[in-house]
Structure 1
Amino acid sequence: MPLTDLVPDGWREPARQVVTALRGLDRIIIAAHVNPDGDALGSMAAAGWLLRALGRECVLYSRSGVPDYLRFLPLPGVMHDTVQHLPFAPQAALLLDCGEPHRLGDELARCLPGLRTVNVDHHLGGGMGSEFSWIQPEAAATAQLMACVALCAGAALRGPLAEAIALGLVTDTGGFAHGNTSAHVLRLAAHLVENGCDIPLLRQRLEHCWSMARMRLWARLMERLDLHCGGRLVSCLVRLEDLRRSGACKEDLEGFVEQMRRLAGVQAAILLREDAPGVYKFSLRSFGSIDVRSAAMQLGGGGHLNAAGGTLHMDATRAMEQVVDSVAAILKEHTQSRNLC
């Protein structure tokens, strides 16, 4: 079958438009949100491998660098953490998995007005691209969209390009366990495996790399879980002091909010992380049709149906109260709607 058959109906035209836009650009800086997760880094790497295949000059940029737990991923070049001393003066930017300029980091955000930009994202609220924007909230991961772009460009999904796409799929679907694991995602994953991508090895590299600091941090936080709404909602507060005492870093929290959902009876989870005094980042997770994105949006954040987040500027007690109240309201609405059915 034609490889473009792996691209869902309705996605082929915007994917082709991204290809056309990229072919009209050169000296491209590829970036995603700061503190990149597997999807952000996988999307960036996939874009870099594709642009190299298209004969375009490009660099990768992340103000916060590559997280230690993702350093196994082959990259198509050096990851730059500053726009100073790049091998060329960027003329364009490919922005991935990031809907707001400030999430790129202040340094790159200041440069955007002078660059032609293309934006590919699966989060609502994107659209930074002046050349072209493809925002597809139905996608499980931005890496899935980059796979569609690569297929429409005639690139074979093999080698490091395939591994980069697989990383984004695996991390943003929770290892193909989240509700966003569609038939299209599984067909794409099967195609990657058929072409030599070792997904079990990828998961081993992601999951069997814990440090003692991470173990200590998780043990510390497990004792602090709070239940709300009759056990349907679980929350946890993470202070900077917890990281210091455990010898851990923010990256060591990756996956903890998903772990909280393992409690029997829990339908939604809240992780509230202190980033600085008076600054708290919240991460929300849920199951099925429970829409934590709407709770996040009420608090100035965003995300997906079952995975969302944002940042609050206030003290810890007030921040936790606001997030718990917002998610509790969503759970109440969900229960009422089911009772009416």
Structure 2
Amino acid sequence: MTNRKNPSSIQDTLKAIMGAQRIILCAHLQPDGDTIGSLLAMKALLERLGKEVTAICHDPVPKNLHILNGWEAVQLASECTIDRFDLFCALDCSDSDRLGDALPLFNKAPLKMVIDHHASNTFYGDINYVDSKVAATGNLVFRLYEAAEMEIPIEVTPYLYAALSSDTGNFAFGQMDEEFFVQISNLLKAGLDITRYSRALHLMKEVDFVKLLSRALASLSFICDGKISYMCLTQQDFKESETAPESAEGLVNYALNLPGVQMCFLATETRENRVKFNLRAIQPHNVAEIATHFGGGGHVLAAGCTLEMPFEKAVSLMKERMSQSVC
């Protein structure tokens, strides 16, 4: 068994996979393109290897990812009835709390595997294939295809494109290197329709998103001489616009991509005394440190956390903590 404090090699990871027959794959709660794309690509790989695969997630697959064929196979973790399996694999989950309702299944797994790229990963599995130098967990799944000597079929290319593009803002930020773009090149060689999926995943917006965007922009505020910006969405906003917090995914970037802004946040009141924060920054700042301070986590330039307290108090604390980092 691998030392949980050290990353596992790709060879050990593949060996564990080959030694298992019944495998559960799990995406993180409030799923995004990287975790769902990685899960679907991993599911396809394992099935080609002859494995019995069950894919689960705490939350439903977001509407914008329904363009990925096979998304319907992802079950709600709370509805999963599997009781006999050999391996549980968490994808893009920095710690076990990110598993949500899948945590009981993870805890009973005879072998626990983690495949992730977050620097804040807690190495909570028996096998921890963790590399924080890559831009997305999808990069690690791509490597597993190579290690298994499996060609990537055309139907898998959208999954990996969704993973790699989602965590880099469609190639606008993140830890992109030569390997990253070689993988993208190989996806194109395998038949990826990048025009179709780029438009669907990054340009098309649901009507509910646009409704919330108008409300978020109306709340746009600046502190620290314009170096910090922030937007707020309250329960009243969701009620009046007949939308849900899930539709606000990606809104925070509108507060960051403004002249002079170095750091920003979107505060979302998901219920009374519960405020979700999406944090963003440009180099050389680090919002992962801020998120960790409040019990969250993420990447250097993109992170998040949740505070259990009244909305105004939570926003005040975040403004104060960001100001300490920037002003």
Check whether TM > 0.5: yes
Q: Does 1:125 align with 2:121?
A: yes
Inter-CA distance 287–84: structure 2 relative to 1 (3 Å threshold): closer
Q: Does 1:194 align with 2:189?
A: yes
Q: Does 1:171 align with 2:186?
A: no
User: Hey, what does 2:41 align to over in structure 1?
Assistant: 46
Inter-CA distance 75–128: structure 2 relative to 1 (3 Å threshold): farther
User: Hey, what does 2:54 align to over in structure 1?
Assistant: 59
User: Hey, what does 1:29 align to over in structure 2?
Assistant: 24
Q: Does 1:96 align with 2:91?
A: yes
Inter-CA distance 97–320: structure 2 relative to 1 (3 Å threshold): same
CA distance in 2, matches of 1:104, 1:154: 30
3-state SS of 1:256 partner: coil
User: Hey, what does 1:72 align to over in structure 2?
Assistant: 67
- Tell me by how many angstroms 1:323 deviates: 1.3
User: Hey, what does 2:218 align to over in structure 1?
Assistant: 223
Deviation string for 1:2-33 (max 9, x for gaps)? xxxxxxxxxx9822221111111121111011
CA distance in 1, matches of 2:307, 2:71: 36
CA distance in 2, matches of 1:213, 1:112: 34
1:263 to 258, 262, 265: 258
CA distance in 2, matches of 1:286, 1:161: 32
3-state SS of 1:290 partner: coil
Moved runs in structure 1, 4+ residues, more than 4 A? 83-88
- Tell me by how many angstroms 1:101 deviates: 2.0
- Tell me by how many angstroms 1:39 deviates: 0.4
- Matched residues, number: 319
Q: What root-mean-square deviation, in Å, do the aligned CA atoms of Structure 1 and Structure 2 show?
A: 1.9
Q: Does 1:282 align with 2:277?
A: yes
Deviation string for 1:200-229 (max 9, x for gaps)? 211111134323332221111111011011
User: Hey, what does 2:4 align to over in structure 1?
Assistant: none
CA distance in 2, matches of 1:148, 1:302: 25
User: Hey, what does 1:109 align to over in structure 2?
Assistant: 103
CA distance in 2, matches of 1:97, 1:121: 4
- Tell me by how many angstroms 1:88 deviates: 6.7
CA distance in 2, matches of 1:224, 1:260: 10
CA distance in 2, matches of 1:261, 1:226: 12
Inter-CA distance 226–249: structure 2 relative to 1 (3 Å threshold): same
CA distance in 2, matches of 1:200, 1:113: 41
Q: TM-score, normalised by structure 1?
A: 0.88
- Tell me by how many angstroms 1:239 deviates: 1.2
Deviation string for 1:162-188 (max 9, x for gaps)? 221110111100010014222221121
CA contact (8 A) 2:170 2:202 kept: no
Unaligned runs of 5+ in 1: 1-11, 333-341
CA contact (8 A) 1:126 1:135 kept: no
User: Hey, what does 2:140 align to over in structure 1?
Assistant: 145
Deviation string for 1:223-265 (max 9, x for gaps)? 1011011001101111122122212222321211112112111
User: Hey, what does 1:320 align to over in structure 2?
Assistant: 315
Inter-CA distance 76–300: structure 2 relative to 1 (3 Å threshold): closer
- Tell me by how many angstroms 1:122 deviates: 0.9
CA distance in 1, matches of 2:124, 2:91: 10
User: Hey, what does 1:335 align to over in structure 2?
Assistant: none
CA distance in 2, matches of 1:13, 1:319: 38
Inter-CA distance 315–167: structure 2 relative to 1 (3 Å threshold): same
CA contact (8 A) 1:158 1:192 kept: no
In structure 2, what residue type is equivalent to 1:310?
C
CA distance in 2, matches of 1:92, 1:255: 33
User: Hey, what does 1:296 align to over in structure 2?
Assistant: 291
Unaligned runs of 5+ in 2: 1-6
CA distance in 2, matches of 1:135, 1:322: 32
